[in-house]
């Protein structure tokens, strides 16, 4: 099946009207549905958004390739869309996107479809081809451009295949590479072609293995690897790494293979690339630490790995516990049994037991996955044990956080310590040495850590339990404002993680004031966008006014990130406006002492608040204040 068979005229948009990423996706998905290529909009769009959440498919150089493979797709299709003015699609290079290729692959698509989709990715590396597409005015011209490019590409690949056998006879420098992306449809093959093209320009021989939806193609042999002067792994998913043991290896995201092929090739040949040391675990490319950002970035990544795995336990368990309180309140509890609220009636007790079981995993999971991010799978047992010891020893969230990092670096230390063991013992390191010594060392360290951390944790809990007056107002305002500063970034997440940590120790007291302030502050920015686009319509484009409507849903659902497109477009005016309203809402919540029993949910958990109507009023006040400030300082749209 050729690309032109997938690139049908009915699924082309020659003048895309959208100006934002969300609107562009909506317009293209609707066109895909209108052309009869998908059965349901929501299912297919969910796949598109899930892929975008991993990393933007805006590849840079004005090109985006959103793609999804799911049950909503009737026939494999490539939708072509062209924007005259460009769309802010959060591309890797930060530049506007003009050409879109939305790929729809049905579940169980055969290799023929996947080969055609991979071929599309390879064609887009050629700037002359891209220029011709930008100049095309009709669907017929688009198809003709692809037809001519495919024929030229086939001839070029035949020539490359014939030349590959001659590589062994040359004295030129030689490198090997592996490319892989989570879906294996687009980025994998674009990185392959970018590396091959740049290597050809530099006079370097290269062989690239692709780990895509088609499976592994051009697999590197032991002979290839042994002969190579360097190795490049451009991957965002697990690839086989132990075969590169002892080779100088450059390990980067697949996007760098597309955007920075020359940099990667030069580093692989420089002699300065880190030497990869394999072990008995099949380490994945994206977990290797040899070339993965600054120390601060790695610490943040490790922490977020623990937090992201912890949150489902906190959210699910916390809401179940909260429901047990509600059930008991609804069914009635004698005054003398109020201490057993949540456990008095049998139904409430069941909810409490289930929620408590999930909640009990919170600290072990946090520490376990921090350690796993640092030291791979061997870190799990030491990390889980550190979290459990922090929980049992009263060190709480802060103790588990420190324990996770301790466990991870203890395993790193053990890997270096056992690095030169005889090969006969290689197989038992991961199943015996790392678990036993990691657990023993981490466990004894945690017994020491728990002493000061318990004192700090008890003091913090005492402060939070007794929050009232100016202390509660200031803390609520601070955390509410933090939620609006970077809208889902490190500062926002720091406030949110602090809120969830206080929730664990405040369930028995009816909930956390801190968590209530955090959620209020996070709900304000999207709602402020709604207010501003309603009151100051003349200062916004039509697409922004429309986006304001979706922000009310996101705001009420506690999805702070809904305001990001507006903040990114004008941060100097938008961010301060948000911070004022969010801090006001958080401060008002703290002043009244409103408590929340759930760590997420927005209006869907409003009944789990101690004063639900006042809470909604304070959020509305914050949103109106932020919306009005934003509307007043924003410059009118130039027609």
Q: What is the pLDDT of residue 283?
A: 44
Average of per-residue pLDDT across 442-459: 87
The closest alpha carbon to 55, from 276, 198, 237, 294, belongs to 237
Question: Is the pLDDT at 586 greater than 90, yes or no?
Answer: yes
Taken in order 219, 222, 227, 228, the sign of the CA dihedral is positive
Any residues with CB less than 8 A from the CB of 264 and at least 6 apart, and which?
Answer: 195, 232, 234, 250, 252, 256, 257
Is 67 among the residues known to form the active site? yes
pLDDT in tens, 294-342: 676 678 778 877 877 887 787 777 778 778 877 887 888 786 775 676 7
* Residue 628, both tokens: 């009005």
Q: Which helix (H) or strand (E) holds 423?
A: none
Query: d(Cα 504, Cα 517) in Å, to the nearest integer?
Result: 16
Query: d(Cα 132, Cα 156) in Å, to the nearest integer?
Result: 19
Q: Which helix (H) or strand (E) holds 217?
A: strand 215-217
Q: What is the CATH number of domain 171-287?
A: 3.40.50.2300
Pairing of strands 249-252, 215-217: unpaired
Q: Which helix (H) or strand (E) holds 454?
A: helix 434-465
The closest alpha carbon to 231, from 281, 290, 159, belongs to 290
The closest alpha carbon to 407, from 437, 450, 451, belongs to 437
Cα 112 to Cα 1, 6, 9, 414, distances in angstroms? 6, 11, 21, 47
Average of per-residue pLDDT across 162-185: 70
Is 181 among the residues known to form the active site? yes
Give me the helix-helix angle, 571-592 and 513-535, nearest 10°: 140
DSSP state of 2: -
481 touches 521 (CB < 8 A): yes
Q: What is the pLDDT of residue 498?
A: 82
Backbone angles phi, psi at 35, to 5 degrees: -80, 0
Q: What is the pLDDT of residue 282?
A: 46
Average of per-residue pLDDT across 382-405: 88
pLDDT in tens, 116-155: 556 776 777 777 888 888 889 999 999 888 888 878 777 7
14 touches 137 (CB < 8 A): yes
Selection from 174-183, 255-264, 280-289, 497-506 with the highest mean pLDDT: 255-264
- E strands in 530-622: none
Question: Is the pLDDT at 376 greater than 50, yes or no?
Answer: yes
Any residues with CB less than 8 A from the CB of 476 and at least 6 apart, and which?
Answer: 513, 514, 517, 520, 586, 587, 588, 589, 590, 591
pLDDT in tens, 490-513: 687 778 878 877 776 676 677 788
Backbone angles phi, psi at 596, to 5 degrees: -125, 135
Query: d(Cα 458, Cα 398) in Å, to the nearest integer?
Result: 11
* Residue 360, both tokens: 């009990």
Query: d(Cα 135, Cα 123) in Å, to the nearest integer?
Result: 16
pLDDT in tens, 206-251: 999 988 755 678 889 988 999 999 999 998 777 788 899 889 999 9
396 vs 402, which has greater pLDDT?
A: 402
Question: Is the pLDDT at 358 greater than 60, yes or no?
Answer: yes
257 touches 264 (CB < 8 A): yes
* Residue 530, both tokens: 């709604």
Using CB atoms within 10 Å of the CB of residue 588, give its burial: 0 to 12 exposed, 13 to 18 middle, 19+ buried: buried
Q: State the number of CA atoms in the 13 A half-sphere of 18 facing the CB.
A: 24
Q: What is the pLDDT of residue 567?
A: 79
Question: For tokens 């699910």, what's the residue?
Answer: 316
Q: What is the pLDDT of residue 569?
A: 72
Domain segments of the chain as ranges: 3-155, 171-287, 295-447, 469-633
DSSP state of 329: H
Query: d(Cα 185, Cα 194) in Å, to the nearest integer?
Result: 15
- Which residue out of 113, 181, 187, 600 is catalytically annotated? 181
Question: Is the pLDDT at 12 greater than 50, yes or no?
Answer: yes
Distance of CA 95 to the CA centre of its chain: 21
Query: d(Cα 440, Cα 62) in Å, to the nearest integer?
Result: 54
Using CB atoms within 10 Å of the CB of residue 334, give its burial: 0 to 12 exposed, 13 to 18 middle, 19+ buried: exposed
Average of per-residue pLDDT across 107-115: 56
378 vs 506, which has greater pLDDT?
A: 378
- Which residue out of 67, 113, 187, 600 is catalytically annotated? 67
Distance of CA 321 to the CA centre of its chain: 28
**Residue 286 — pLDDT band, cuts 50, 70, 90?**
very low
**Residue 558 — pLDDT band, cuts 50, 70, 90?**
confident
Report the chain's mean pLDDT, rounded to a whole number: 82
66 touches 103 (CB < 8 A): yes
Q: State the number of CA atoms in the 13 A half-sphere of 197 facing the CB.
A: 19
Q: What is the pLDDT of residue 341?
A: 67
Cα 244 to Cα 61, 145, 173, 176, 239, distances in angstroms? 32, 41, 18, 10, 11
Average of per-residue pLDDT across 367-378: 87
Q: What is the CATH number of domain 3-155?
A: 3.40.930.10
Q: What is the pLDDT of residue 264?
A: 94
Quick check: helix, strand or coil at residue 442? Answer: helix
The closest alpha carbon to 536, from 566, 556, 561, belongs to 566
Question: For tokens 């588990």, what's the residue?
Answer: 400
Q: Which residues of 361-398 are buried (b: 16+ CB within 10 A; e: fewer)?
A: bbbbbbbbbbbbbbbbebbbbbbbbbbbbbbebbbbbb
Average of per-residue pLDDT across 50-67: 82
Q: What is the pLDDT of residue 588?
A: 94
Average of per-residue pLDDT across 348-377: 87
Quick check: helix, strand or coil at residue 216? Answer: strand
Average of per-residue pLDDT across 631-639: 76
DSSP bridge partners of 38: 73
Q: What is the pLDDT of residue 545?
A: 82
Kindly report the number of other CB atoms within 10 A of residue 551's CB atom. Answer: 24
Query: d(Cα 323, Cα 52) in Å, to the nearest integer?
Result: 34
Taken in order 11, 12, 16, 22, the sign of the CA dihedral is positive
């Amino acid at each position: 099946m050729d690309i032109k068979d997938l690139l049908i005229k009915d699924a082309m948009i020659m003048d895309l009207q959208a100006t934002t990423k969300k609107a562009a996706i909506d317009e293209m998905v609707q066109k895909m549905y209108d052309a009869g290529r998908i059965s349901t909009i929501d299912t297919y769009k969910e796949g598109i958004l899930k892929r975008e959440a991993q990393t933007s498919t805006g590849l840079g150089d004005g090109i985006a390739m959103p793609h999804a493979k799911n049950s909503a797709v009737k026939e494999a299709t490539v939708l072509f869309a062209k924007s005259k003015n460009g769309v802010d699609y959060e591309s890797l290079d930060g530049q506007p996107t003009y050409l879109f290729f939305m790929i729809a692959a049905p579940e169980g698509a055969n290799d023929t479809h996947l080969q055609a989709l991979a071929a599309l990715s390879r064609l887009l590396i050629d700037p002359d081809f891209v220029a011709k597409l930008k100049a095309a005015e009709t669907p017929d011209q688009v198809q003709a451009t692809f037809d001519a490019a495919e024929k030229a590409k086939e001839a070029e690949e035949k020539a490359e295949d014939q030349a590959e056998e001659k590589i062994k006879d040359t004295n030129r420098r030689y490198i090997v590479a592996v490319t892989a992306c989570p879906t294996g449809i687009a980025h994998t093959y674009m990185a392959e072609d970018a590396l091959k093209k740049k290597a050809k320009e530099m006079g370097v021989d290269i062989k690239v293995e692709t780990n895509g939806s088609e499976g592994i193609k051009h697999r590197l042999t032991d002979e290839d690897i042994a002969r190579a002067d360097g190795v490049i792994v451009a991957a965002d998913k697990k690839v086989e790494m132990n075969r590169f043991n002892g080779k100088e290896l450059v390990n980067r995201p697949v996007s760098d293979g597309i955007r920075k092929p020359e940099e990667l090739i030069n580093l692989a040949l420089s002699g300065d690339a880190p030497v990869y040391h394999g072990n008995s675990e099949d380490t994945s490319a994206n977990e290797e630490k040899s070339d993965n950002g600054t120390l601060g970035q790695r610490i943040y990544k490790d922490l977020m790995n623990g937090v992201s795995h912890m949150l489902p336990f906190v959210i699910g368990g916390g809401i179940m516990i909260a429901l047990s309180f509600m059930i008991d309140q609804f069914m009635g509890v004698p005054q003398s049994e109020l201490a057993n609220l949540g456990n008095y009636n049998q139904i409430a007790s069941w909810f409490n037991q289930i929620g408590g079981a999930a909640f009990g995993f919170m600290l072990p999971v946090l520490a376990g996955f921090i350690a796993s991010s640092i030291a791979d799978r061997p870190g799990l047992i030491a990390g889980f044990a550190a979290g459990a010891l922090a929980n049992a020893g009263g060190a709480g969230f802060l103790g588990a956080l420190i324990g996770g990092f301790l466990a991870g670096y203890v395993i790193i230390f053990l890997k270096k310590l056992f690095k030169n063991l005889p090969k006969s013992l290689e197989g038992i390191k991961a199943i015996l040495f790392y678990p036993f010594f990691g657990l023993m060392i981490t466990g004894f360290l945690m017994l020491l850590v728990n002493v000061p951390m318990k004192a700090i944790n008890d003091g913090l809990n005492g402060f939070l339990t007794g929050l009232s007056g100016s202390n509660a107002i200031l803390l609520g305002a601070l955390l509410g404002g933090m939620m609006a500063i970077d809208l889902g970034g490190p500062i926002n997440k720091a406030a949110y993680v602090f809120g969830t940590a206080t929730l664990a120790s405040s369930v028995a007291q009816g909930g956390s004031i801190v968590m209530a302030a955090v959620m209020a502050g996070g709900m304000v920015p999207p709602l402020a966008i709604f207010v501003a686009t309603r009151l100051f319509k003349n200062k916004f484009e039509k697409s922004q006014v429309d986006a304001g409507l979706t922000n009310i849903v996101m705001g009420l659902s506690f999805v702070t990130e809904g305001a990001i497109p507006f903040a990114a477009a004008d941060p100097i005016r938008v961010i301060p406006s948000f911070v004022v309203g969010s801090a006001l809402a958080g401060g008002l919540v703290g002043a009244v002492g409103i408590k929340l029993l759930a760590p997420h949910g927005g209006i869907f958990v409003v009944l789990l608040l101690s004063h639900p109507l006042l809470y909604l009023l304070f959020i509305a006040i914050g949103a109106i204040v932020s919306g009005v400030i934003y509307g007043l300082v924003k410059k009118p749209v130039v027609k």
